[in-house]
Amino acid sequence: MIKANKQAAGLIVFEGVDGAGKGVQSRALHKAMLAAGYPVILTREPGGSVSAEAIRKLIVEGDTERWDSISELLLIYAARRSHLQETIFPNLEQGTWVISDRFADSSRAFQGVAGGLGLELVEQVHEIVVGQFKPLLTLVLDIDPTLSLQRAEQRGDSEDRFEQKGLQYQQRVREGFLQIVKDSEQTHSLIDASQSIDRVQASIKEVVSQRLGFEL
């Protein structure tokens, strides 16, 4: 049975450094929401639409020097525009919740903070591409990058361009996310991702239920 939402469907985002467990936990929340009867889809960035997935390969694979930070930012926002138009907006208009593995805060943390572009430039591009649209809830999975990089290495796939940028880069990314959460406590929640998968999942369900009124 499909449950009626207490509020209009919105976007729920998972953020964090590479290897924080966003994929595992976003899939778990998606499964839990479906089991509870909520209309919901799971998507990701970069990607989430046919055009955006093509751009994804350019961004997450290859040598670390393949693109500089501004090139990364522009490619990601081109993918994000497609993702919004082809996937996120149509589903929200139909009353379907959207869970996304990454969204705009990744641009702020990766290119704005760690990449040295500054948040002002990222916000200028964001305003042009995204406008005033925002996620209803962003879950930032926080973990020491030393551990998260070990996790990422165990995946052994080719999408490791950002992991190859090294520990100091990922530490700056983490600092960026921590600052974002501090500045946006009403819409963001920090989750200790160093715990077991089950405990992280339980923490996420609790936050989502409290913030959005779900029965999970």
Q: What is the pLDDT of residue 118?
A: 97
Q: What is the pLDDT of residue 151?
A: 76
pLDDT band at 200 (very low <50, low <70, confident <90, very high): very high
Q: Are 108 and 180 in contact (CB under 8 A)?
A: yes
Q: What is the pLDDT of residue 5?
A: 57
Over 70: is that where the pLDDT of 1 sits? Answer: no
**DSSP three-state, residue 72:** helix
Cα-flanking dihedrals φ and ψ of residue 41, to 5°?
Answer: -120, 160
pLDDT band at 7 (very low <50, low <70, confident <90, very high): low
Average pLDDT over residues 165-178: 94
The pTM is what?
Answer: 0.93
Average pLDDT over residues 167-184: 96
Give the strand order in the sheet containing 11-16: 40-44, 97-101, 11-16, 137-142, 188-192
The percent of residues in the chain predicted with pLDDT above 70, rounded, is 95
Q: What is the pLDDT of residue 120?
A: 97
Q: How far apart are CA 131 and CA 99, in angstroms?
A: 19
The percent of residues in the chain predicted with pLDDT above 90, rounded, is 83
Average pLDDT over residues 172-179: 97
pLDDT band at 3 (very low <50, low <70, confident <90, very high): low
Q: How far apart are CA 160 and CA 61, in angstroms?
A: 6
Over 80: is that where the pLDDT of 4 sits? Answer: no
Average pLDDT over residues 123-138: 97
Domains of the chain: 11-211 (3.40.50.300)
Between 163 and 74, the more confident residue is 74
Over 80: is that where the pLDDT of 19 sits? Answer: yes
The residues near 18 (Cβ < 8 Å, ≥ 6 apart) are 148, 149, 152, 162, 163, 170, 173
